[in-house]
A and B are shown apart, each in its own frame.
Chain A
């Protein structure tokens, strides 16, 4: 798939076929995530891969807003080991860039995915920490739920010229 097609056509997918995602596909998606830029090239990201249905549905039970995980074959929690940071408090930017790569890669491989925010919402951070047994120096950013799509969401034109300012605000 051409990059711009992926950029323009990727949408959040919340319904999935009853079909497992092969490990090599998961690895390719994670490889794309790890190619993101990061402050000082610190690459503080870690990924918790959940690819057994009962474990994915346990993620749904642990995070009250993770509705799509109820019936999904795959979930990936994106976290940062903040002890690796060269420039403190950039981890959420770096991990967001990695998550965007992950979503584009998933779309490019025929999967559908949705970014479920954990940070900056305290109660979701606490719930994710508990469920995934995340240590104190690690911060969860989000959980991405994925699978082969069982719904079609048409692409959307989001271009809005009023958001573009020339030279000054």
Chain B
């Protein structure tokens, strides 16, 4: 898929068919994630890939509004590894950029996904930490359920000229 088409037509997908996602697609998606820019090129990310049905069905117990995980064929938990940071605190921005790459790659492969927020919710972070057995230096940022879409969404034009300023605010 062409770059601008991917950027323009990507939407959050929350309904999935039961068709499995090929493992090579997951690897390609993670490769895209790891190509994101990061402060000092520190690449402070870690990923937990979930394809086990039983685990996916339990995600709604730790993720409010996470019902779509029950239908998803896979899920990726994007985490920041604070021990890898060159500039402390920047893992949030770095991992958010990596998550956006994941969403674009998912869409271009004909899959659908949605960014469900974990960070900065304190309780949610702890619930994910306990569920996935994350060590203290690893902080969960977002969980992205992935699958073949069972819903289609219209493109949206979100350009707002009122959001563009010249030289100063």
Contact = CB atoms under 8 A, between A and B. Distances in A.
Interface of A: 1-8, 10, 12, 27-28, 30-32, 34-37, 39, 43, 45-52, 55, 79, 87, 89-90, 92-93, 96-97, 99-101, 103-105, 108, 115, 117, 119-121, 132-135, 138, 141-142, 158-160, 163-169
Contacts of A134: 169
B133 interface: yes
Nearest to A116: B39
B46 A163 contact: yes
B97 A47 contact: no
B148 interface: no
Tell me if B's interface is mostly helix, strand, loop or mixed: mixed
Interface in B1-25: 1-8, 10, 12
Interface centre among A37, A101, A163, A167 (most CB of B within 10 A): A163
A2 B3 CA distance: 5
Nearest to A142: B93
B7 A99 contact: no
Given A7-B105, A46-B163, A96 B100 contact: yes
Nearest to B47: A164
Interface of B: 1-8, 10, 12, 28, 30-32, 34-37, 39, 43, 45-52, 55, 87, 89-90, 92-94, 96-97, 99-101, 103-105, 108, 114-115, 117, 119-120, 132-135, 138, 141-142, 156, 158-160, 163-169
A47 B165 contact: yes
18 contacts: A3-B1, A4-B28, A6-B3, A46-B165, A46-B169, A48-B167, A89-B120, A93-B119, A97-B97, A104-B7, A108-B3, A132-B169, A142-B93, A158-B34, A163-B46, A166-B49, A167-B49, A169-B135
Contacts of B166: 48-51
A164 B89 CA distance: 22
A138 B5 CA distance: 30
A108 B4 contact: yes
Given A35-B7, A168-B133, A169-B135, A93 B92 contact: yes
Which of B47, B104, B133 has its CB near the most chain A CB atoms (within 10 A)? Answer: B104
Nearest to A76: B164
Give the 9 A-B CB pairs with smallest separation, nearest first: A96-B96, A97-B100, A120-B89, A100-B97, A100-B100, A108-B3, A3-B6, A96-B93, A3-B108
B164 A30 contact: yes
A94 B6 CA distance: 18
Contacts of A55: 167
Nearest to A134: B169
Nearest to B1: A3
